[in-house]
């Protein structure tokens, strides 16, 4: 499903300096990491924030707003009232805990029926032991509420959003593939690696991976560093960005994991830091925040 004709192929022309990738032209699509922690203990103890990802390109999307999303928006002077859509990949609190108050913000305190809420079946409707994550009252605030299943799509303004498969403990969980004006942006939420997951994210300029576990520490339902290297090699994005780091991974070093993945895959790989921004146009810039981890 496409909402518009995308531009022709983009070619990355960049150099790594400091925190990231310096571009020669102004960017159009902006990605802001409102937190780069994930998993139960990183969420409880907050060695990294867990506020999810904010994406803008004329429209404004908040993806997986976990605990601290609203606080970090305030730190960056972002207005929740300008958000156009909230996306929830699955029904675990590190991916949705701040969603209800952000829905109220999107709907201007509940006084204006506004915005779109998009989520997995578990997050929106409830599925088995999972969810729903959003109360009936808050489901009534957006102009539109959509429960996506893997392979289904929806449009927000001129943005096409496709739900991609995952292999996670929440069986209705999804990832997302966003067809922006500057190319395809993919988000691999909590999941094991599978051929189906890799196939779904091919053709992306930027691949964002929820990397919970470091090298030598594979557990069910999550991606570890070795799996991420395989995923990046198979999907071949222009840039891979790692986020959603668990406690053990943070202890062993996020940059160590990104270095391993880049060496194995041959693809530029960046370990995100809290409040980091990525600007995507003909080229890609990654800039860290002064308070970066």
Over residues 231-265, the pLDDT tens digits come to: 999 999 999 999 999 999 999 999 999 999 999 99
Q: Determine which helix (DSSP H) or strand (DSSP E) holds 16, and give its type and residue range.
A: strand 15-17
Distance between CA atoms of 274 and 34, rounded to whole angstroms? 6
SS3 label, residue 105: helix
Q: What is the pLDDT of residue 3?
A: 60
Domain regions of the chain by residue span: 23-287
38-47: pLDDT as tens digits: 999 999 999 9
CATH of domain 23-287: 3.60.15.10
Q: What is the pLDDT of residue 28?
A: 85
Cβ 282 vs Cβ 18: under 8 Å = no
In the chain, which stretches have pLDDT less than 70? 1-27
Q: What is the pLDDT of residue 103?
A: 98
In our burial notation (b when 16+ CB lie closer than 10 A, e otherwise), range 146-168 reads: bbbebeeebebebbbbbbbbbbb
């Amino acid at each position: 499903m496409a909402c518009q004709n995308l531009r022709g192929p983009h070619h990355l022309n960049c150099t790594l300096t400091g925190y990231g990738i310096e571009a020669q032209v102004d960017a159009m699509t902006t990605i802001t990491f409102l937190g780069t922690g994930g998993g139960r203990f990183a969420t409880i103890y907050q060695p990294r924030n867990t506020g999810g990802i904010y994406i803008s390109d004329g429209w404004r999307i908040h993806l997986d707003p976990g605990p601290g999303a609203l606080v970090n928006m305030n730190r960056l002077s972002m207005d929740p009232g300008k958000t156009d859509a909230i996306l929830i990949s699955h029904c675990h609190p590190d991916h949705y805990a701040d969603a209800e108050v952000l829905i109220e913000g999107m709907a201007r305190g509940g006084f204006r029926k506004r915005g779109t809420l998009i989520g997995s079946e578990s997050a929106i409707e409830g599925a088995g032991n999972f969810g729903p994550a959003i109360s009936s009252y808050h489901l009534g605030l957006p102009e539109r509420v959509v429960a996506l299943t893997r392979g289904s799509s929806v449009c927000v303004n001129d943005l096409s959003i496709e739900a991609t498969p995952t292999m996670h403990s929440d069986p209705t969980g999804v990832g997302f593939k966003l067809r922006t004006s500057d190319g395809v942006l993919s988000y691999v939420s909590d999941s094991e690696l599978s051929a189906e997951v890799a196939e779904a994210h091919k053709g992306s300029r930027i691949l964002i991976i929820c990397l919970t576990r470091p090298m030598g520490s594979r557990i069910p339902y999550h991606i570890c560093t070795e799996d991420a290297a395989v995923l990046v090699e198979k999907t071949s994005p222009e840039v891979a960005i790692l986020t959603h780091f668990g406690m053990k991974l943070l202890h062993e070093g996020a940059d160590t994991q990104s270095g391993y993945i880049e060496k194995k895959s041959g693809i530029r790989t960046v370990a995100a830091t809290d409040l980091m921004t990525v600007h995507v146009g003909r080229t890609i810039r990654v800039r860290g925040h002064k308070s970066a981890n």
